Amino acid sequence: MRYLPINSLRDNNTLFVRSFIILLLTCITVRINLCFSSTNIPSSLRLLSLDGHFNFDDVDHAARDFGNRFQFRPSAVLHPKSVSDIANTIKHIWQMGPHSEIKVAARGHGHSLQGQSQAHRGIVIHMESLQGSKMQVHAGNLPYVDVSGGELWINILHESLKYGLAPKSWTDYLHLTVGGTLSNAGISGQAFRHGPQISNVHQLEVVTGKGEVINCSEKKNADLFHSVLGGLSQFGIITRARISLEPAPEMVKWIRVLYLDFATFARDQEHLISAKKTFDYIEGFVIINRTGLLNNWRSTFNPQDPVQASQFKSDGRTLFCLELAKYFNPDKKDAADEEVEDALSQLEYIPSTLFQSEVAYVDFLDRVHVSEVKLRAKGLWEIPHPWLNLLIPKSKIHDFAEEVFGKILIDTSNGPILIYPLSKSKWDNRTSVVIPEEDVFYLVAFLSSAVPSSTGNDHLEHILTQNKRILDFCETANLGMKQYLPHYTTLEEWKTHFGPQWQAFVQRKYAYDPLAILAPGQRIFHKTVPFS
């Protein structure tokens, strides 16, 4: 087709042609806006009857997370007041069929690292808005608490303590939602004894990718129950959970000791997690070359005495710190002291580095939040966090330590490095979580922060390069490593991650979210890519 300039047309046709062109351009502009702005949400979805509401303008906050590296702007944020708000929204999208490109992501406290709680041009559900039934604590021989999937663990702690109870298993940071941690696993220093948080759940209420609201447990709809636990939000959104409780202590004896030798450090940790009489919390971490223990942001455990403080500096060496906690009530303090003394006598740490403190149970569990407040005040919380969390089999942990702590990370660390053993017997192999095959395996967590540099150095790129070197070593050395909080970019990588469990994972996806509506930020399933 040949186009003529407007000024070449006859005068009596000029007004008509100009009007037509203006109308055409207007239609094109409207079409572009509909495709590429927040108005991409269908009008039928906008007209849904909800107890809560959609927000189509103030959505930028839902395009960020704690990792602060990926930003995928949604078209809308749903602020639900009821489970039916979530169910009706997802059901409507499900009924639109496979041609709809709208995806849905549940966002708790936004603590994901790689954009997992984001939904580009889709809908993000602000789970903390979910109300419904209030938190209910049930005391008795088998105590538990019923909570919303959008409830923070710190709130559960404060409420359950009113009854002298508390959940058995935690994460190090409590300002996370129940649905968020249960969709991954939820581990901390108590996991060697009680297992991860997903091993301490009695019942769930779940909204599937079809918009169905289903109650499930080990005895009812068991496949969905186990699918959702550790399922990376692929099969349903957790809207309510029944969490196991136990009697809560009032106080904690908080202990740290140092090691120069990794083999001794690892042997003592493995001894403690298998001993009959042991501590209630066991974690270790690595102090890389000149990175003082006192600068460890994840705790408020700081020696006050200058002489003691000087013993907690690495002085150019790589040290290994064992962090322990013994729970007790004031009327049983003498017995707790004896148990601690007996347990410590069986360890081979550097005697001069023993440091002990006594703190309230709540203060111990919420220790990271204290540091968060300080970092926020300095503008150092909302920066990139290129974390790397690995699960390493016990038989390979020495090879890993020799290469990573001896060759890759030799100058300094950009944040805490946690390392502690876990027992496979405390994990339920029916859930969706992938862990190493051995009976004992280690969590190794590189909790790096890309702090802005005054010299202009790109700390983020440096950390990402180190992370890649660590991952490359694990692969070439065939360590049998699995990622915790996994992140991959290709289907083949996900298949390798799940290994023999991949087909079961795919079958569960077909059963509960066949249109791949849920959790697009995980980048596992796409409509244009066959599941198998």
Q: How many angstroms separate the CA atoms of 108 and 127, rounded?
A: 5
Q: Of the listed 65, 85, 109, 111, which one is catalytic?
A: 111
Cα separation, 447 vs 418, in Å, equals 8
The H-assigned helical ranges of 275-332 are 306-311
Whole-Å CA distances, 292 to 85, 287, 353:
49, 7, 13
DSSP state of 430: T
Degrees, nearest 5: CA angle 19-25-28: 145
**294's tokens:** 């006192």
Which residue matches tokens 């079809």? 210
Q: Is 378 exposed, middle or buried (0-12, 13-18, 19+ CB in 10 A)?
A: exposed
- H or E stretch at 493: helix 491-498
The span from the CA of 515 to the CA of 501, in Å, is 21
Q: Which of 205, 283, 323, 513 is catalytic?
A: 283
Burial bucket for residue 181 (CB in 10 Å: 0-12, 13-18, 19+): buried
- Beta strands 104-107 and 123-126, pairing class: parallel
Amino acid at 44: S
For residues 276 and 296, give the distance between their C-alpha atoms in angstroms, rounded to a whole number. Answer: 31
Catalytic residue among 172, 268, 270, 323: 172
352 burial via Cβ count (<10 Å: 0-12, 13-18, 19+): exposed
- CB distance 146 to 162 below 8 Å: no
CB 27 within 8 Å of CB 61: no
In the residue annotation, 111 being an active-site residue is answered as yes
Enter the DSSP assignment of 522.
G
* C-alpha–C-alpha distance, residues 221 and 441, integer Å: 30
Diameter of the chain by CA atoms?
104
| Three-class SS state of 233 | coil
Cα–Cα dist 392/482, whole Å: 7
CB 210 within 8 A of CB 94: yes
> Could you tell me which residues come within 8 angstroms of residue 176 by beta carbon, excluding any fewer than 6 positions away?
108, 109, 111, 152, 153
Contact assessment for residue 140 and residue 95, using Cβ atoms and an 8 Å cutoff? no
| 459 is an active site residue | no
Contact 369, 174 (CB under 8 A): yes
**Residue with tokens 């399922």, as numbered in its chain:** 231
Active site residues: 111, 172, 283
